[in-house]
C-alpha cells in the first residue's frame, strides 16, 4: 500500500498477471523521509477501496436492515512470503507503521463513515517481516498517539500469532515497552499449532486477565466444534472465527475448510457442514453477551452458556458420543431449541419448556450440538 506504483489497478486492467501483482503485495517503499508528513502520491488505495465498497459497505447495509451494527477491525498484514520487500521495514519503524495505519483509519472514517472499532496491530507476526513482541509494543504506543490526535480511539488487538503456543513469549517481549501491555484490549491468537494450542490457552487467558483484557481466537482454517468449545469454555474467548466467509463449490461436501458458507453453481448459499454447528450458537449470542459459569457432572459433553444484553439465556451442549443432556439451573420457562448433527448444514428447531425446578432433558446426537435460547 505504501508504494508509488498502483499494481492493483494494473492487475484489474489486465496489464500484469496475478503472480506479478502478488510479488508486490508486501513491498513497502517509503513515501518520503518524514513519517509525520504523508506524501499522498506515495500510497495506493485502489485495492483497499475496492474491498470496502464491494464487501464491507454491502455487509453494513444488510446488517442495518436487521437493526445490527457492523464491527470494523482494521488489521495490518506484513507477511514475509513474497520476493519483493521494498526499502521500508515498518516492523522496525513504529512511526512509519503509525503513519500508514492512521491514513487507513482516517480514510475509513472520512470517506466511508466507518471509524474502526478495533485495530489488530499485525496479523501473524511470527510469519511477518521482522515483527517481534517489542516491535509490536512500539507500534501500539506510536499508533495510539497518532490515532488519538485524529480523534480515534479503537480497541487494540494483539499479538495475533499463528500459533497459540508462542503468544506468551511475544507478550513477554512486548512488556519491555512501557505502556504497551496495558493498552491491549484483546489478547488474540490463531490455532495453527494444532493440539499444542489447547495447552497454551490457560496461560493466554491468565496473561490477558493481568492486562484487564479479553481473549480472542481469530483464525483457524481447520477449526471444528471441539476447538470452539475449548476456546470459549477454557480460553474465555470474546470473539472466534474460522477463516473465510464463502467458498464457491459444487456441493456442501466439496466446500473448502475454513469457510462459513458455500455458494452453489446457481448461486444458492448455505452453511458449510464444518461451520453449521458453530453458527447455531453464534447466531443466538448477541454482541455484548456475558458468559455464565457452568459445571458438568458426568460424561464427556461440553457446555457453555451466555446471558445476552436483552436478558435472554443461551445454553449450548456439544456431545462427542451422543447423550441425553439434563440441563439444570434455567431461569426462563420456554426455550427455542436447535439441534444440529455432525455433517449437517441445517438445524431441527422446536420449543421446550423447563420444568418447575428449571430443568430440561434433550437428546444430543453424536458429534452434534443443541442450543437453547430463552424466549
What domains lie within the chain, and their CATH numbers? Answer: 7-219 (3.20.20.70), 302-374 (2.60.40.1180)
Share of the chain above pLDDT 90, in %: 94
Residue 345 grid cell: 448444514
**Across-strand partners of 183?**
none
List, edge to edge, every strand of the sheet that includes 259-263.
244-248, 259-263, 269-271
pLDDT for 231 equals: 96
Please write down the long-range contacts of 224-229, taking CB distance under 8 Å and 24 or more positions apart: 224/274, 225/277, 225/278, 225/318, 225/367, 225/369, 226/302, 226/318, 226/320, 227/191, 227/197, 228/278, 228/281, 229/302, 229/304, 229/318
Confidence bin at 244 (pLDDT 50/70/90) = very high
Q: How many angstroms separate the CA atoms of 255 and 89, rounded? A: 37
Confidence bin at 351 (pLDDT 50/70/90) = very high
Of 63-77, 166-180, 236-250, 286-300, the poorest mean pLDDT is in 286-300
Average pLDDT over residues 200-222: 97
pLDDT for 295 equals: 85
pLDDT for 23 equals: 97
Residue 294 grid cell: 457452568
pLDDT exceeds cutoff 80 at 298: no
The mean of the pLDDT values for the chain is: 95
User: How many CB atoms sit inside 10 A of residue 290's CB?
Assistant: 10
Average pLDDT over residues 15-42: 96
pLDDT, tens digit, for every residue of 135-164? 999 999 999 999 999 999 999 999 999 999
- State pTM to two decimals: 0.95
pLDDT exceeds cutoff 80 at 258: yes
User: How many CB atoms sit inside 10 A of residue 244's CB?
Assistant: 14
pLDDT for 63 equals: 96
pLDDT exceeds cutoff 90 at 261: yes
pLDDT for 346 equals: 73
Q: Is the distance from CB of 219 to CB of 190 less than 8 angstroms?
A: yes
Q: How many angstroms separate the CA atoms of 203 and 339, rounded? A: 33
Q: Is 220 exposed, middle or buried (0-12, 13-18, 19+ CB in 10 A)?
A: buried
Confidence bin at 348 (pLDDT 50/70/90) = confident
pLDDT exceeds cutoff 80 at 297: no
237-240 and 244-248 strand pairing: unpaired
Among left, alpha and beta (phi > 0; psi -120 to 50; other), residue 340 is beta
pLDDT exceeds cutoff 80 at 185: yes
Amino acid at each position: 500500500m505504501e508504494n508509488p506504483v498502483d499494481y492493483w489497478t494494473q492487475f484489474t486492467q489486465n496489464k500484469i498477471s496475478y503472480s506479478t501483482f502478488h510479488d508486490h503485495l508486501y513491498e513497502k517503499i517509503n513515501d518520503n523521509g518524514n513519517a509525520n508528513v504523508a506524501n499522498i502520491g506515495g500510497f495506493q488505495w485502489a485495492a483497499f477501496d475496492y474491498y470496502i465498497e464491494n464487501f464491507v459497505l454491502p455487509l453494513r447495509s444488510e446488517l442495518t436492515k436487521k437493526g445490527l451494527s457492523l464491527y470494523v477491525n482494521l488489521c495490518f498484514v506484513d507477511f514475509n512470503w513474497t520476493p519483493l520487500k521494498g526499502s521500508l521495514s515498518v516492523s522496525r519503524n513504529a512511526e512509519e507503521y503509525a503513519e500508514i495505519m492512521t491514513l487507513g483509519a482516517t480514510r475509513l472514517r472520512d470517506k466511508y463513515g466507518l471509524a474502526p472499532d478495533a485495530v489488530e496491530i499485525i496479523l501473524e507476526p511470527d510469519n511477518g517481516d521482522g515483527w517481534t513482541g517489542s516491535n509490536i509494543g512500539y507500534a501500539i504506543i506510536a499508533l495510539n498517539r497518532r490515532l488519538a490526535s485524529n480523534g480515534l480511539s479503537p480497541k487494540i488487538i494483539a499479538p495475533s500469532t499463528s500459533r497459540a503456543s508462542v503468544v506468551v513469549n511475544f507478550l513477554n517481549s512486548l512488556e519491555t515497552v512501557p505502556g504497551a501491555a496495558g493498552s491491549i484490549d484483546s489478547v488474540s491468537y490463531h490455532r495453527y499449532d494444532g493440539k499444542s494450542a489447547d495447552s497454551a490457552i490457560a496461560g493466554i487467558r491468565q496473561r490477558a486477565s493481568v492486562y484487564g483484557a479479553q481473549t480472542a481466537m481469530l483464525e483457524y482454517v481447520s477449526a471444528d466444534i471441539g476447538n470452539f468449545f475449548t476456546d470459549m469454555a477454557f480460553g474465555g474467548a470474546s470473539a472466534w472465527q474460522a477463516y473465510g466467509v464463502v467458498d464457491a463449490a459444487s456441493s456442501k461436501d466439496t466446500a473448502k475448510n475454513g469457510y462459513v458458507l458455500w455458494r452453489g453453481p446457481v448461486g444458492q448459499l448455505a452453511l458449510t457442514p464444518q461451520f453449521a454447528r458453530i453458527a447455531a450458537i453464534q447466531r443466538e449470542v448477541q454482541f455484548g453477551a456475558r458468559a455464565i459459569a457452568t459445571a458438568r457432572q458426568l460424561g464427556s459433553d461440553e457446555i457453555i452458556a451466555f446471558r445476552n444484553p436483552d436478558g435472554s439465556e443461551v445454553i449450548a451442549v456439544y456431545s462427542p458420543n451422543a447423550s441425553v443432556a439434563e440441563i439444570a439451573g434455567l431461569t426462563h420457562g420456554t426455550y427455542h431449541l436447535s439441534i444440529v448433527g455432525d455433517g449437517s448444514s441445517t438445524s431441527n428447531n422446536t420449543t421446550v419448556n423447563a420444568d418447575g425446578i428449571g430443568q430440561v432433558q434433550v437428546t444430543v446426537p453424536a458429534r452434534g450440538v443443541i442450543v437453547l435460547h430463552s424466549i
